[in-house]
C-alpha cells in the first residue's frame, strides 16, 4: 500500500474515533443531566450550565480529531 493510502486510512480512523467517543459521552451526559433535572427541578440552572460546559469540552475533542484528519490529508 502506498504512503498516501495509509495517510488516508489514518485520517479516516482519526475522524471515526474522535466522533465516536465524544458522541457516546455526550449521550450519557445528557441522559444523566435529564435524570438529575427530573429528581431536582429546582437545580435546573446549575445543571444546565454544567451540562453546556461539559458538552462543549467533549465537542472540542471532535474538532481536534477533525483538525488532525485535515493535517493528515494535507500531506497527501
Tell me the pLDDT tens digit for each residue of 3-61: 889 999 999 999 999 999 999 999 999 999 999 999 999 999 999 999 999 999 999 99
User: Residue 1 above 80 pLDDT?
Assistant: no
User: Residue 2 above 90 pLDDT?
Assistant: no
CB 24 within 8 A of CB 62: no
User: Which domain range does residue 53 map to?
Assistant: 3-74
- Number of Cα atoms under 13 Å in the Cβ half of residue 18: 19
What pLDDT, on the 0 to 100 scale, is given for residue 16? 93
Q: What is the rounded distance in angstroms from the CA atom of residue 52 to the CA atom of residue 44?
A: 12
Say which CATH number the domain at 51 has.
1.20.20.10
Matching residue, cell 472540542: 60
- Tally the domains of the chain: 1
Amino acid at each position: 500500500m502506498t504512503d498516501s493510502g495509509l495517510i488516508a486510512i489514518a485520517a479516516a480512523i482519526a475522524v471515526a474515533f474522535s466522533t465516536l467517543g465524544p458522541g457516546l459521552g455526550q449521550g450519557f451526559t445528557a441522559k444523566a443531566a435529564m435524570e438529575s433535572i427530573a429528581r431536582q427541578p429546582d437545580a435546573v440552572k446549575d445543571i444546565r450550565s454544567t451540562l453546556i460546559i461539559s458538552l462543549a469540552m467533549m465537542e472540542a475533542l471532535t474538532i481536534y480529531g477533525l483538525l488532525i484528519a485535515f493535517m493528515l490529508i494535507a500531506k497527501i
